[in-house]
Structure 1
Amino acid sequence: MSNSNQQRSYEEENYPISPEIIYYGDRKFVYVVIQEGIYPPAVNYTEASNYFPIPDNYTIKTTWGRANNSRTIQCSIYYVEEKLHYLICFGDNLQYQVFSAQSPFDASVELHKVSYYINRKGRPRELKLHKESSKTTQIKRAKGLAKKEQVHFENTINDFYNPKDRVVLKAIDFTVENKEYHVTFGDENYVKKKQKLQSIAYVQDVENIPRDAYRYLAAVESILPREYAISQIRQEINAYMEELIPIDFIDLNSTIVQEGPSEEPDITDLLIIEQVINATGKGAYQSVKKILEYIIPSYVEKGILDPAIPTIHLRISGDGRNVG
């Protein structure tokens, strides 16, 4: 049949009363308008000869084939910085997708490539439920999903940002059956991590936050460091400070005052009496000189102390806590 005798393509529709549109051409297609979108200020147009304006966030769904051989795809057009992008979702639950910033034809080519690969591998077996999987499998799946999202993220950066922009995916958060996962990417910055742990240990000491209270808080907020990590950094700080400002012990040689012969003692247990006598007069102290040698250079550097004024006024007091 010659081109002059071919039937001109056309559409049969009653939109917006009905979202279904029938296309007649070389083949018949039925598609449904999911979202009609809106026209942006800088609108693009279809190619000649129709030259129709193209809306933003325009989405349709179409199905072709019969029975078990039928296929459904969902196609979307959206703008990014006044440039058209084309997205096709496909699969039994529209779980797969291909994307192009070039043209609808380029997106369709990608669709055929990916469809061929999926069909060649066959349908994947159904995975176990998350709650039925082992701990190792759960972690492996979370890392695998995060890695796949990282690859997708890196492959689409240039579609949204200038190549000179430094775009870095640092972390991803998601939940599976109300179980939270926080996956970080890239090499861990141990300096920043240690500074963060030291800051949390400082806040715990200043605000008198008990270890159990912080442990409960960290269980609720997964991005907080674990309590054992805070405890470990506190031990490191204590060991470091003990080297700089050692703790020395002193025997005060206190005299134990015995009750008079006519008084009945309150404590008659000989073991307890011996322990009290041995403990009385024992004390610990730190050198004020070493403390000043440690803090003065830091205070001078921060501008708190003026080297031109060599006089320092000290006040010795408690830390607000009762010590038995």
Structure 2
Amino acid sequence: MPKVKSQKIENIPKEITDYPETDSVLYTDGRRSYYYKIKQEGLYPQPPILAYTQGKNKYKIPNGYCVETTWGRGEKKKTVRCLINYVEEKPLFKIMYGVNFSEEVQSNISSTTVANAVLKKLFPLNEKSLISGVHLFGIHLMTLKEARENISTREKNIQLIPVEHCSKSTLNRRQHKFGNQLKQYVQAEGFKIYGNDQIILKQISSSVGNINFQIDCYQALAAIESNLQREWAISEQRLKITIEMNQKIPITLIDLPLDFAKFSNFESTEIIQNIKKGGT
């Protein structure tokens, strides 16, 4: 009887996530799993600067991208921080590892080059071990690709409401997205100019229609108001409160001797009595 060849069941890759509601993505293909924590989504540069990964899949390589990747089990479980920034129109791949990500390796050749360099640092006894740079960096994630390109059908069919007719929650969501994308772009472009001396965007002030916006880049969206109070207005209000308090609660200043020892008991008692009476 002829032998029947058994068919191999291919493992279908899965991305388990609620992104962008959460910043985590779990990728598994049945053989291996990677857990990603997205720090910066990044943006795709415009052609001809846009670069692609090597190999048959040719994934687009984002700029201003940062992710923390965890893989392995037990004692072999590791977490690294992967970053991609374009330098002189070419992607620079960096991986930070060790305690508090204090060590780093970088390369402008490919993500796999730097990934395997880090693997040798983490597992020096397993010299033959290899790892996919695409998977370690999460460059293949369709979740992030769609987020960068805004290609979801739902977003394509949405007719944007003018800002003057938007609810406060909608304005918050739009400004949060705008602030994150602008921050990523500034950091990516700043890396080209300042290198490792990272540029930090502290605050964004903008105007859309007749509404003014201010974003604190160290925290979440700080405020969305049509008229933001300035420092002089706050100082004026503080002065007004101080004057009103002084009128209601009079305060008398008393010159208190530094050394009571040089006064007689009678003089010291008299000074204390004056303090109790408000210096009168």
Q: What's the TM-score, normalizing by structure 2?
A: 0.38
Q: Which has the higher contact order (CA 8 A, sep 6+)?
A: 2
